[in-house]
Structure 1
């Protein structure tokens, strides 16, 4: 399929002005736009916490109640590694050194998913064509959820604002045991063909999938027994899935974000790319230090979508530049003050789409 094209405004465009101002900021401060000691120390803490929790669960077999707590903690560490290490690494913003970015991105392989598939789905498609139904694979949760008004309505959707939490909890399990394999064997992300995989990509795919099954399925069953493993694994993966889903959904599927429709006559989107990103993306809880630390700046989603090559540790500082430029160009900037406000908006949005012929 042919990718749609974005509008080309007369110079100087909003995007050009914004890029120049962000470039000038880093030049004037004399700092790199990639990660620094703050990010690296956080990464070490998260990896150490994950490994310590895994080792204690598998080798030292805590009591049932404590084991469940540790499985939840393992889910938090898994999510945080994804938000802070893998995400920056996959975008090339974790470090100025390519091999370090590759290593950081590879944490996703260790956790059971696949970096090659993620980069195609997330970096190439989602970041370019955010919230465009039929292209952005993040909107494809059919038939269980209806995430924009152009999607087909099923009777089950009338209750989606009540059962969404169950669907979100299944994300991680679905991701590592189904969707990666579907992309691999069909050679597509939705309807978009994958770029050709090299031999090393195939080896990495199968090698890490087998390693993950050994470390998180076979070996724990051997050490703990099937029943204890199953309970712990479900607690861990369902909690991880819910946390991952909620953070990603609050950034794009809320009441104030847009879901542009491509003009079928000329295959174009009405706005220039940067304006499109601002219309389809929302920030939340940007003054909450704990949220910022845990989510790796994904609550600064606007900054991330406009400048994915910049590490999330810089988002609070470039936030004011982007807001001021938006005000100057009379461009809306979507932001919710707290997590709960964004969450309520997301649930309200799901409820709105739970009725036929509805949408915002």
Structure 2
């Protein structure tokens, strides 16, 4: 599938950027993170480390362990939203190295900041809600989240079983989809840009580290079944929280799902207007 083309930019995007810059200047606010955001990040990362250490090295009784697994999954999602996401967008701090460090929290949590940059920053934010291009809409055949997608009989019940599928986001992300993107060299229908040697080492180095942190070490210290229950519960909670927030941003009733012209493959709007129409 060839990538759709947006209408030529007019004055809207430039005026929008001008007014946004004027707002920050008038209110004397930074366009990047502030000490409050840094403090929140430190609190979240510290909580994540504390929960992990307590669960793995000082494993509590079953009831408390389950509660802490739920808390750990929630904190993992919060680190993703409040630290990793802003760092990957370059808005966590005015210092590029701090932004990069914030983005790298995803690599520590089992994902890949390289794949996230390609999937989210490039493909998703460029082609939001365009079925067949925006990888965030690709839940077929399990769920139908866009009007142009094929309807199956099971979809009439997706409001009942989405709970289970949403919770699988994190687990499938770190165990399957990152590797799928790596080996197919594609994000859905969009080619993945070539990875440098550093990117390769980072990808595989952190994947190996994650197997130790979230697999081998807990299995050794807690036992296989204890690890399996904890991993599935933590991963499900993280995936569910992530999915709910992701979906509410774009796949709701009042957002647009633009379809390129069948012949020209062009879209009606320029990119900035497209972003507003496809975002809640």
TM-score, with structure 1 as normaliser? 0.76
The SS at the match of 2:150 is coil
Q: How does 1:63-78 map to 2 (within 5 A)?
A: 63-78=61-76
Deviations 1:23-55 (A, max 9, x none): 112233444311010100000000000011111
**Larger RCO (alpha carbons 8 Å, 6+ apart):** 2
Q: In the alignment, what sits opposite 1:178?
A: 176
Q: How does 1:312-323 map to 2 (within 5 A)?
A: none
The SS at the match of 1:266 is coil
Q: Distance in 2 between matches of 1:191 and 1:6?
A: 17
**Structure 2 residue 222 is the aligned partner of structure 1 residue 224:** yes
Q: In the alignment, what sits opposite 1:48?
A: 46
8 Å CA contact retained: 2:5, 2:267: yes
TM superposition shift of 1:150: 1.2
For structure 1, which segment, 23-32 or 66-75, has the greater mean C-alpha deviation from structure 2 after superposition?
23-32
**Structure 2 residue 129 is the aligned partner of structure 1 residue 134:** no
Q: How does 1:185-334 map to 2 (within 5 A)?
A: 185-282=183-280
Q: Distance in 2 between matches of 1:70 and 1:171?
A: 20
Q: How many residues align?
A: 280
| 1:125 aligned residue (110, 123, 126) | 123
8 Å CA contact retained: 2:88, 2:117: yes
Unmatched runs of 5 consecutive residues or more in structure 2: none
Q: In the alignment, what sits opposite 2:92?
A: 94
Q: In the alignment, what sits opposite 1:161?
A: 159
TM superposition shift of 1:176: 0.3
8 Å CA contact retained: 2:129, 2:278: yes
Deviations 1:284-336 (A, max 9, x none): xxxxxxxxxxxxxxxxxxxxxxxxxxxxxxxxxxxxxxxxxxxxxxxxxxxxx
Q: Distance in 1 between matches of 2:21 and 2:263?
A: 37
Q: Distance in 1 between matches of 2:68 and 2:79?
A: 16
Q: Distance in 2 between matches of 1:227 and 1:139?
A: 34
Q: Distance in 1 between matches of 2:267 and 2:27?
A: 36
TM-score, with structure 2 as normaliser? 0.97
8 Å CA contact retained: 2:185, 2:192: yes
TM superposition shift of 1:9: 5.9
Q: Distance in 2 between matches of 1:108 and 1:240?
A: 13
Q: Distance in 2 between matches of 1:152 and 1:202?
A: 36
Q: Distance in 2 between matches of 1:218 and 1:210?
A: 10
Unmatched runs of 5 consecutive residues or more in structure 1: 283-360
Q: Distance in 1 between matches of 2:20 and 2:184?
A: 40
Q: Distance in 2 between matches of 1:264 and 1:197?
A: 33
Distance 1:9 1:49, change over 3 A: closer
